[in-house]
Amino acid sequence: MGKLLIKGIGKLVSGDISQPLLQADAILVEDGLIRKVGRAEELEAAGADRVIDVQGMTVTPGLIDSHAHPVVGDFTPRQRQLDWIESSLHGGVTTMISAGEVHTPGRPRDAAGVKALAILAAKAFQNLRPGGVKVLGGGLILEPGLTEEDFREMASEGVTHVGEIGLGKIKQPEEAAPMVRWAKKYGMVVMMHTGGTSIPGSSTVTAQQVMATDPDVVAHLNGGPTAVPWPEAERIIRETPYAFEIVHCGNPK
pLDDT in tens, 108-158: 999 999 999 999 999 999 999 999 999 999 999 999 999 999 999 999 999
Q: Do 161 and 120 fall within a single domain?
A: yes
Q: What interhelical angle do 148-156 and 111-127 show, nearest 10?
A: 10
Domain check: are 222 and 113 in the same one?
yes
Contact 13, 2 (CB under 8 A): no
Residue 253 pLDDT more than 70?
no
For residue 125, the tally of other CB atoms under 10 A from its CB is 23
User: How much is the mean pLDDT over the chain?
Assistant: 94
Helix (H) or strand (E) holding 110: none
DSSP structural state of residue 44: G
Same domain, 17 and 123: no
46-66 pLDDT tens trace = 789 999 999 999 999 999 999
Whether residue 251 is predicted with pLDDT greater than 90 in this model: the reply is: no
Residue 2 pLDDT > 80: yes
CATH code for the domain in which residue 53 is found: 2.30.40.10
> In this predicted structure, what is the pLDDT of residue 54?
97
- The verdict on 103 and 156 lying in the same domain is yes
9 and 116 in a common domain? no
pTM of the model: 0.89
Question: Domain count of the chain?
Answer: 2
- Give residue-wise pLDDT tens across range 193-241: 998 877 676 778 899 999 999 999 999 999 877 888 999 999 999 999 9
* pLDDT in the model for residue 46: 78
Long-range own/partner contacts, residues 241-245 (CB < 8 A, 24 or more apart): 242/210, 242/215, 242/216, 242/217, 242/218, 243/216, 243/217, 243/218, 244/217, 244/218, 244/219, 245/66, 245/67, 245/217, 245/218, 245/219, 245/220, 245/221
Q: Which residues pair with 135 in a beta bridge?
A: 96
